Chain A
Amino acid sequence: MLFRDPRMTPQDLANLRAMFGLDQPLYVQFYLYLVNLFHGNLGVSFAYDQPVLPIVMQRLSNTVLLVGIAYVFFVLVGIFLGVVAAWKHGSKFDAFCVSFALTTYSVPTFWLSMLFILVFSVWLGVFPTSGMLTIGAGAESFGAYLVDLLSHLAMPVITLVLYYMGFYTILARSSLLEEFTQDYVLTARAKGMSNWQVIRKHTLRNAMLPSLTLAAINIGAVVGGVLQTETVFSWPGIGSLTYDALLLRDYPLLQGAFLITALSVLAANFAVDIIYTWLDPRVRY
């Protein structure tokens, strides 16, 4: 942005370019970037005039908090709805669950966030519009701090949960229905078990596996949703940092945020792979 300041002399501009190394040819810049990368140096942000890595890492914990809570909720609620829908297969509730899941999938996350702000913050005044903590509030006790944090967390989390739980509902439902056609279910039925008993004792465990696979694959997709919700709710995480970097055309920061995001996704995928072997002993690596 400094580059657009009319008071800058050509000499100042040249100095700035030399300072950030922008006067070098592109391949030299890229080589230096790679060398620095392996030294854990992601470059210097244009806008903050500080190293990129600390800025990004500072925001990462906030994103992990938001995503972690949302993840637990949408996987559990989604699977739960899918199980109930499969149990009541063919009922009105079942049909409602399927159409609900299909619709929420089609709703842009950023728009859902905007609607939430419109309804719950502006009209009803229940939740704060943006940020993570109210300045000055919650300093008196830990309880007040927690309440303040949770009220800021509520809307971003609900948005994410609404958007992503549909995938799990549909998947859990269809894998349960598929399990119902297996022979062991027929045996269990012949013994006189009810639908619910069959689900609880036999099919649920087998039907959980596809949902867990989805939970692993989904991590990359969830990043997209988090980017949007964080931006609209001004949640100080990596997503809103990406948006800021984008607005300021701060390319080092944008690259850094993207790199850390991609690495986190890979790490999370790896973690899920390990958990998977523990849940399904048939899988070996």
Chain B
Amino acid sequence: MQNYPKAISQFWKSYKRSKRGVIGLAILVFFLVQAVFAGQLAPYAPDQQLGASSILLPPTLTHLLGTDEVSRDVLSEVIYASQVSLTVGFLAAFISLVVGTLIGLLAGYYAGLKAEVLMRFTDLFLVIPFLPLVIVLAAIFGSSMLNLILVIGITGWTWTARTVRSQILSLKERPFVERARSIGARDSHIIVHHILPNVIPLAFANSIILIGNAILAESVLSFFGLGDPVHVSWGMMLHYAYTSGAMTLGAYWYVVPPGVCIVLVMVAFALVGNALDDLLSPRLKTSWI
């Protein structure tokens, strides 16, 4: 436990073996760097309008990805939008992780009526069509970045809760938990010292995939006009592209890049999440993915 650097280097050694995982990580690092250094990398400010003569210009050397319907530089917009999309993704997934782990923990550790109620509650969330629910919630709460994060976060925890619960159901029957209980450990002690350390890695791997899902959910909500008009994300760009009729004008440089970014980030999170899942999850190695 004390030797963190060694543990990390060992972990990296085994992670490196997954080629897909490394590719995913590389894509993620690329987008993170781009988001952090947006101010240095973007040639223009994201909201800088370049005048009526440069509306929907095709790509040129001065505007590598052309301009949009109100004469902003698309490349700069895409770079700045990565900040919004990634922030929403990370924070929403974090909320889902905390809520899901907590509910899964309570439902798994404590048997009986309360656990039953919690699990039926989870089932309810699993059955309700996710997207319409999020849309209705976001419409009622109003469009701001914080509301988007909250809405996506509190609707996305169900799978985490399920995974954590099933893991805890098997953990709490293991000998080391029984031993702790037989020498008189309280529930809180058992949970914090014996159960949680075994569950956190799994929940963590799970939440990596959640980040991708949250980014996708954010892009869909923004596309439906529920995004934050001040903090423009990739989905919001596509919303503007759609409402300004960029497709029918053939403005591929405006339609294609934001979507490509979403796809790349989604794929990257899926690759990293799967690689981590293979390393950390207790089940048998699967060969099919």
Of all chain B residues, which has the CB nearest A217? B126
Contact partner of A102 (CB less than 8 A), chosen from B130, B255, B270, is B270
B286→A224 contact, CB < 8 A: no
A246→B128 contact, CB < 8 A: no
Q: Mark contacts of B258-276 with chain A using CB atoms, 8 A cut-off: 1 yes-contact digit, 0 otherwise.
A: 1100110011001000000
Q: Does B182 contact A (CB under 8 A)?
A: no
A103→B130 contact, CB < 8 A: no
A114→B238 contact, CB < 8 A: yes
Contact partner of B139 (CB less than 8 A), chosen from A107, A121, A228, A246, is A246
Q: Mark contacts of A75-112 with chain B using CB atoms, 8 A cut-off: 1 yes-contact digit, 0 otherwise.
A: 00000000000000000000000100011011111110
Q: Does B136 contact A (CB under 8 A)?
A: yes
How many pairs of residues, A versus B, come closer than 8 Å at their CB atoms?
Answer: 121
B132→A228 contact, CB < 8 A: no
A242 CA to B135 CA, complexed, in Å: 9
Q: Does B62 contact A (CB under 8 A)?
A: no
Q: Does A129 contact B (CB under 8 A)?
A: yes
Of all chain B residues, which has the CB nearest A110? B223
Q: Is the interface of B mostly helix, strand, loop or mixed?
A: helix
Which of B145-153, B190-198, B246-254 contacts its partner? B246-254
Of all chain B residues, which has the CB nearest A257? B132
Most buried by A among B127, B132, B286, B289: B132
Contact partner of A265 (CB less than 8 A), chosen from B127, B250, B289, is B127
Q: Does A65 contact B (CB under 8 A)?
A: no
User: Nearest Cβ in chain A — how far from B50, in angstroms?
Assistant: 24
Q: Is the interface of A mostly helix, strand, loop or mixed?
A: helix
B262→A111 contact, CB < 8 A: yes
B238→A262 contact, CB < 8 A: no
Q: Which size class do A's interface residues fall under?
A: 35 or more
Q: Does A249 contact B (CB under 8 A)?
A: yes
Q: Does A204 contact B (CB under 8 A)?
A: no
A255→B259 contact, CB < 8 A: no
Of all chain B residues, which has the CB nearest A238? B132
Contact status of A111 and B259, CB under 8 A, knowing A106-B212, A227-B132: yes
Q: Mark contacts of B201-238 with chain A using CB atoms, 8 A cut-off: 1 yes-contact digit, 0 otherwise.
A: 00000000000100010011001111000000001001
A109 CA to B263 CA, complexed, in Å: 11
B contact residues around A242 at 8 Å (CB): 132, 135
A110 CA to B236 CA, complexed, in Å: 12
A contact residues around B128 at 8 Å (CB): 220, 262
User: Nearest Cβ in chain B — how far from A127, in angstroms?
Assistant: 13
A242 CA to B133 CA, complexed, in Å: 11
A232 CA to B259 CA, complexed, in Å: 15
Of all chain B residues, which has the CB nearest A104? B263
A255→B136 contact, CB < 8 A: yes
A177→B287 contact, CB < 8 A: yes
B238→A122 contact, CB < 8 A: no
A227 CA to B129 CA, complexed, in Å: 11
Q: Does A41 contact B (CB under 8 A)?
A: no
A230 CA to B256 CA, complexed, in Å: 20
Contact status of A122 and B212, CB under 8 A, knowing A224-B131, A247-B225, A258-B136: no
Known: A108-B259, A118-B250. 16 other contacts (CB 8 A): A106-B262, A107-B266, A110-B220, A110-B223, A111-B262, A111-B263, A115-B255, A122-B249, A173-B288, A174-B288, A220-B130, A224-B131, A228-B220, A246-B139, A254-B136, A262-B129
Between-chain CB contacts (< 8 Å), 16 pairs = A102-B289, A105-B266, A105-B270, A106-B212, A107-B266, A109-B220, A110-B242, A111-B219, A115-B255, A123-B250, A177-B288, A224-B131, A242-B132, A246-B224, A254-B139, A265-B127
- Seen from chain A, the residues whose Cβ lies within 8 Å of a Cβ on chain B are 98, 102-103, 105-111, 114-115, 117-118, 121-123, 129, 170, 173-174, 177, 220-221, 223-224, 227-228, 231-232, 242-243, 246-247, 249, 251, 254-255, 257-258, 261-262, 265-266, 269
Top 10 A-B residue pairs of the complex, sorted by shortest distance between their CB atoms: A224-B131, A106-B266, A111-B259, A223-B129, A220-B129, A174-B288, A118-B247, A117-B247, A106-B267, A110-B223
